[in-house]
Amino acid sequence: MLQGMWSFIHEYKYIVIPMVLWFCIQLFKLIYDLVTTKKFNFKRIMQAGGMPSSHSAVVVALTTMVGKQEGIASPLFGIAFVFTSIVMYDAAGVRRAAGKQAKLLNKIIETPGLTNLEVSERLVEVLGHTPVQVIVGGFIGFLAGIIV
C-alpha cells in the first residue's frame, strides 16, 4: 500500500507536491493566526494574503520542478516561468491594491454620518501580499521544488 502511495505521488508530483505545499502554508497561517489572536478562524485556511504567499510558493515550486525535469531551455519551463511571473506580480500588485481599496471602503462605510449605506458584511481586506511575503513564498516554493 505504501509503495502504491509513493508511486501515485511520483506519477502526479506536478499536482500533488504543489497542492500539499499550498495546504501546509495555509495550515501554518491558520495556526499562526490562532496563536496570535487566540481565536480559531477556520476560514483562514482558504483565505488569500498573509505571510508567506502560498500562491508564490505553489507556482515557484511547480516551475522549479519543471526546470529540473525538462531543463530551463524547454518550452514547458518557459510557459511555467511566465505563468509564475504573472501570479507573483498579481499577488503583490493587483490583489494588494484591491485589498487596500477594500480597507478604505470599509472605513468610509463605517464612518457615522458619511454614508447612508447599510452593508451586511465587510469587504475582505487581506487579498494580496507585500513584496516580502511574495519573496518568502517564492523561496519556500523553490526549496520545495529542489528537494522533490
Question: What does the domain layout of the chain look like in residue ranges?
Answer: 2-93+128-147
* pLDDT more than 90, % of the chain: 41
Please say whether the beta carbons of 63 and 148 come within 8 A. Answer: no
Q: Give the side-chain half-sphere CA count within 13 A for 20.
A: 10
Q: Which long-range contacts (CB under 8 A, 24 or more apart) does 43-47 make?
A: 47/124, 47/126
> Is it the case that residue 10 has pLDDT exceeding 70?
yes
Main-chain dihedrals φ then ψ at residue 52, nearest 5 degrees:
-85, 175
Taking only the tens place, the pLDDT of each residue in 64-115 is: 999 999 999 999 999 999 999 999 988 877 666 666 777 777 777 776 665 6
* Cα distance between residue 127 and residue 66, in whole Å: 28
* Cα distance between residue 143 and residue 73, in whole Å: 20
- pTM for the structure as a whole: 0.76
